[in-house]
């Protein structure tokens, strides 16, 4: 279907393909050349041959561009319209899941980059085994790992790792609840982490609503993994995703419904609300059909092991 409805386009060096805030009805696959992805909040990235851009406006109801695209070199692209994109998506569920997950990853990376750009944070060294914070603590700060690896554990079991450039502590800031993990430096050479105070974090969220959405998405994925780890009684089984899935699918239906997610999350936090369950479903239900398949589960939690473990 796509091959019959693709347009070859050429853009000269310095050309702006579209600007942040524009309405978008096309996405683009890069055949040759390099483009810069520039956001109003100061984030810059590049896309190269074999990559694509513009999918976000086609996946979201507001149809708004989330960045400006500037050609760093002469660029040849394949342009695909919204009409044919939607037809193709309707006939290829795997493409839907992959593009939606890729879009979420890009937005999370943008949020991480924006956090690291903030000034006024104080760095502190931690020895191997030293805690940044403990499960059950009151928390009003976020930690960005500058050096080493920080293990996040729940009930004594590893849930995930935060490596250099990643962060931890967002749960308490976004929910107002107690810490639901213990953060421990596990690097023999020690760790360094910078601390962002809650007031600064909230000011940033107020100024960047898209960032709050991305960080909430990341928090939900992390909290889901924490809940799986607590139910299993050991660390998340990345090498056996079926075991993790089955730990949630206790009724063996082959898909996860809102009721399954509610039971899992309320085992982690008895105050977990119906609204939070709905938001969690929106995070994990990539196909938007009201249930989470094993394929979706794998894309969200197993797709790229290195990305997922630190997610």
In what side-by-side order are the strands of the sheet with 35-38?
16-18, 68-71, 35-38, 44-47
Q: Is the pTM of this model over 0.85?
A: no
How confident is the model over 272-282, as pLDDT tens digits?
A: 999 999 999 99
- The per-residue pLDDT for 305 is 47
Q: Above 70 in pLDDT, residue 89? A: no
How confident is the model over 222-257, as pLDDT tens digits?
A: 999 999 999 999 999 989 999 999 999 999 999 999
d(CA 26, CA 65): 10
Region of 171 (left: φ > 0; alpha: ψ -120 to 50; beta: rest) is alpha
Beta-bridge mates of residue 154: 157
Q: Above 50 in pLDDT, residue 9? A: yes
Q: Above 60 in pLDDT, residue 203? A: yes
Cβ-proximal residues to 77 (8 Å cutoff; 6+ apart), any chain:
8, 9, 10, 11, 28, 29, 30, 31
Q: Above 50 in pLDDT, residue 1? A: no
86: tokens are: 């939607």
- The per-residue pLDDT for 85 is 79
Q: Above 70 in pLDDT, residue 304? A: no
Q: What is the mean pLDDT of the chain?
A: 88
- The per-residue pLDDT for 302 is 81
Kindly state the average pLDDT of the residues 212-218.
Answer: 88
Q: Above 90 in pLDDT, residue 13? A: yes
Cβ-proximal residues to 259 (8 Å cutoff; 6+ apart), any chain:
none
Q: Above 80 in pLDDT, residue 90? A: no
- The per-residue pLDDT for 157 is 94
Q: Above 80 in pLDDT, residue 122? A: yes
């Amino acid at each position: 279907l796509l091959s019959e409805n693709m347009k070859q386009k050429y853009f000269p060096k310095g050309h702006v393909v579209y600007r942040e805030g524009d309405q978008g009805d096309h996405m683009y696959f890069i055949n040759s050349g390099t483009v810069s992805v520039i956001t109003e909040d100061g984030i810059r990235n590049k896309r190269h041959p074999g990559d694509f851009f513009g999918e976000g406006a086609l996946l979201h109801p507001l149809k708004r561009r989330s960045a400006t695209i500037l050609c760093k070199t002469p660029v040849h692209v394949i342009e695909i319209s919204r009409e044919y994109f939607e037809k193709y998506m309707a006939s290829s569920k795997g493409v839907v899941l992959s593009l939606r997950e890729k879009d979420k990853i890009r937005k999370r990376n943008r949020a991480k980059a924006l956090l690291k750009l903030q000034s006024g944070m104080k760095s502190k060294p931690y020895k191997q085994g030293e805690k940044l914070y403990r499960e059950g603590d009151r928390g009003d700060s976020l930690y960005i790992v500058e050096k080493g690896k920080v293990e996040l554990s729940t009930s004594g079991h590893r849930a995930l790792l935060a490596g250099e450039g990643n962060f931890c502590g967002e749960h308490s800031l976004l929910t107002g609840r107690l810490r639901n993990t213990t953060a421990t430096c596990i690097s023999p050479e020690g760790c360094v982490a910078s601390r962002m105070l809650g007031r600064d974090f909230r000011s940033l969220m107020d100024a960047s609503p898209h960032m709050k959405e991305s960080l909430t998405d990341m928090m939900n994925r992390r909290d889901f993994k924490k809940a799986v780890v607590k139910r299993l009684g050991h660390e998340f089984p990345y090498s056996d995703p079926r075991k993790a899935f089955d730990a949630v699918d206790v009724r063996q239906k082959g898909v996860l419904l809102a009721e399954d997610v509610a039971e899992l999350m309320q085992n982690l936090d008895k105050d977990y609300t119906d609204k939070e369950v709905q938001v969690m479903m929106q995070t994990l239900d990539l196909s938007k059909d009201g249930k989470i398949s094993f394929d979706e589960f794998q894309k969200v939690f197993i797709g790229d092991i290195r990305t997922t473990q630190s997610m």
